Amino acid sequence: MEIIITTLIVSLALALILGVLLGVFKKVFHVETDPTVARVREALPGANCGACGYPGCDGLAGAIARGDAAVNACTVGGAPVAAAVGSIMGVTASAETKASVLLCQGAFDKCMPKAEYVGIHTCRAAKLSVNGIKMCDYGCIGFGDCERVCPFDAIHVGSDGISRVDYAKCTGCGLCVAECPQKILTLAPVQRTGAIALCSNRNPRKTQVIKDCKIGCIKCLKCEKVCPHQCIKVIDGIPVVDYALCDSCGECVKNCPTKVLALLENIVVTG
């Protein structure tokens, strides 16, 4: 019994000494924290996706408070978060809400596989080893690298071998855009209207494009000819739209023989 009591007393004494020492150390080594960091952190969405380039929302909050990052650096939060952070920092901020758009329609019924692929099932591996698995070397490979990096469950590859974006969930963080080895995902402002080319096949040979994909751009230039505002030009084999001039009339969309062109407002539908 005496041993038990002694052990208990020694344990309590050690606990008391350690408690006092921890209190002293806390006072001695205390580092003042900037209250602005806490306020900015509270305004951020807390997704910790890393799309801003910083290690989570804590890292971004510190960078904004130090002046190392812009108040609209959080792409996930968009305009509301940019405005809130800007108010805290005493500056006016604006941010466009964006969403990912896939510049390809090459599902298996439109673009056949080259052959049976037996390599590693990632888009990057297929790109490096055999330049993609479909007849079109420029199209969606469909192994879901974009899906795996999306922290918001907003993009999925269907059984038809092509990625599709859920615009109710997409925040425009851009992680899928950066991950895609084909570079066929792009960020577009959700409020933007006008035509966009859903094809990335830059092969100048019309016959080869037709052979590779039933819905590829054949470089016929008809979109250029029918546009009443001359706001669309085929550049490096792909129709490019000047959105400062485009009024979303849809003439290029109606006259495209392979249905490559579509109106953005009919694609990016956020609800």
Is the per-residue pLDDT at 212 higher than 90? Answer: yes
The fraction of the chain above a pLDDT of 90, given in percent, is: 62
Q: What pLDDT, on a 0 to 100 scale, did the predictor assign at position 86?
A: 87
Q: pLDDT band at 247, cuts 50/70/90?
A: very high
Q: What is the mean pLDDT of residues 8-15?
A: 84
Task: Say whether domain 35-89 belongs to CATH 1.10.15.40.
Answer: yes
Q: 31 pLDDT band (50/70/90 cuts)? A: low
Fold of 98-267: Alpha-Beta Plaits (3.30.70)
Look at residue 150 in the predicted model and tell me its pLDDT: 95
pLDDT score, position 30: 57
Tell me, yes or no, if the pTM score tops 0.95. Answer: no
Task: Note the pLDDT tens digit of each residue in 139-194.
Answer: 999 999 999 999 999 999 999 999 999 999 998 999 999 999 999 999 999 999 99
pLDDT, position 96: 75
CA distances (Å), origin 196, targets 70, 101, 163, 200: 30, 10, 17, 11
271 neighbors 205 (Cβ within 8 angstroms): no
Top-confidence residue, 162 or 37 = 162
Kindly state the average pLDDT of the residues 94-100.
82
* Per-residue pLDDT at 32: 61
Residues 38-96: pLDDT tens digits? 899 999 988 888 888 888 898 898 888 888 888 888 888 878 888 888 888 888 776 67
Residue 18: the pLDDT is 85
Rounded (10°) angle between helices 35-43 and 56-66: 130
Average pLDDT for the chain: 91
Domain parsing of the chain, residue ranges: 35-89, 98-267
